[in-house]
């Protein structure tokens, strides 16, 4: 099997022991994401957006991930840039972790339903080297609605960025939830549990992916 980092050369993705570190630098911002699996370490989250930090905390907690995120703005203070860039970097990091785990065989896909008070959500992922996303909140004006210091559109940008960075298929559906905070937290919980399921052992597919083509490239 090829070195799992071959596909990331020149893209700011490196290993630090068991952690994947992603440095994404553009004219607009610099993002640093460090992500690992294993015994829990308290997350270090500094996105500049309180609700995004809270959602990343949920993803780390329910996904069994150790996560550090730092964001440095270089030009304009645009929330969608923060969310998309962090999503991209996090997706790249998770994909690198999965590539390494593939040697022993992993599911490479997962689904989950989760709830938060009156809110419920579904998430499904499949890592096959195909970047596609379907993100739906079944509420009128959901993208424009405010959620703490963000909007629904900002959360959509995060998940879109993740799918692009990870080159995975991601489906997210917020099914119920009158409180936008609860609705998006249910989404984060479902996403995290589905993501955790992607790492479940499957020796039958050692060295291969969830898709029959067998590669993430």
Q: pLDDT of 162-204, one tens digit each?
A: 999 999 999 999 998 889 999 999 999 999 999 999 999 999 9
Two structure tokens written together for 200? 């479940």
Whole-number pLDDT of residue 143: 64
- In sequence order, the 6+-apart residues with CB closer than 8 A to the CB of 205 are 102, 105, 106, 107, 108
Q: Is residue 212 part of a domain?
A: no
CB-CB contact of 198 with 191 (8 Å): no
Q: Is residue 214 part of a domain?
A: no
Two structure tokens written together for 43? 């997350």
Q: Is residue 216 part of a domain?
A: no
Q: Please give the DSSP secondary-structure letter assigned to residue 215.
A: -
Two structure tokens written together for 208? 């291969």
Query: 31 is in which domain, residue-wise?
Result: 6-205
Q: Is residue 111 part of a domain?
A: yes
CB-CB contact of 69 with 12 (8 Å): no
Q: What is the model's pTM?
A: 0.91
Q: What is the CATH number of the domain that holds 37?
A: 3.30.230.40
Checking DSSP bridges between strand 29-37 and strand 19-25, what pairing results, if any? antiparallel
Q: Is residue 140 part of a domain?
A: yes
Distance CA 108, CA 129 (A): 11
Share of the chain above pLDDT 70, in %: 91
Q: Is residue 157 part of a domain?
A: yes
Q: Is residue 81 part of a domain?
A: yes
Two structure tokens written together for 12? 């700011």
Whole-number pLDDT of residue 8: 56
Q: Is residue 211 part of a domain?
A: no
CB-CB contact of 206 with 214 (8 Å): no
**Beta bridge pairs of residue 121:** 114, 174
How many domains does the chain fold into? Answer: 1
- In sequence order, the 6+-apart residues with CB closer than 8 A to the CB of 191 are 59, 63, 112, 123, 125, 159, 170, 172
- The per-residue pLDDT for range 23-36, each reduced to its tens digit, is 998 888 899 999 99
CA angle, 198 as apex, 195 and 202 as ends, to 5°? 160
SS3 72: strand
Average pLDDT over residues 13-19: 92
pLDDT over threshold 70, residue 9:
no
Q: Please give the DSSP secondary-structure letter assigned to residue 201.
A: B
């Amino acid at each position: 099997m090829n070195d799992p980092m071959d596909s990331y050369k020149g893209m700011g993705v490196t290993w630090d022991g068991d952690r994947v570190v992603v440095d994404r630098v553009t004219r607009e911002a610099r993002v640093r994401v460090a992500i690992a699996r294993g015994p829990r370490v308290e997350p270090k989250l500094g996105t500049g957006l309180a609700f995004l930090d809270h959602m990343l905390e949920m993803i780390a907690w329910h996904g069994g991930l150790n996560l550090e995120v730092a964001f440095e703005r270089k030009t304009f203070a645009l929330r969608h840039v923060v969310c998309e860039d962090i999503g991209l970097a996090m997706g790249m990091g998770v994909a690198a972790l999965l590539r390494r785990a593939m040697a022993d065989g992993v599911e490479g896909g997962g689904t989950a339903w989760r709830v938060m008070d009156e809110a419920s959500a579904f998430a499904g992922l499949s890592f096959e080297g195909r970047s596609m996303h379907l993100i739906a909140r079944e509420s009128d004006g959901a993208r424009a609605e405010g959620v703490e210091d963000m909007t629904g559109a900002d959360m959509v940008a995060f998940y879109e960025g993740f799918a692009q960075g990870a080159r995975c298929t991601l489906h997210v559906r917020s099914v119920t939830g009158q409180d936008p905070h609860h609705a998006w937290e249910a989404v984060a919980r479902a996403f995290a549990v589905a993501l955790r399921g992607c790492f479940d052992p499957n020796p039958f597919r050692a060295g291969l992916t969830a898709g029959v083509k067998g590669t993430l490239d």
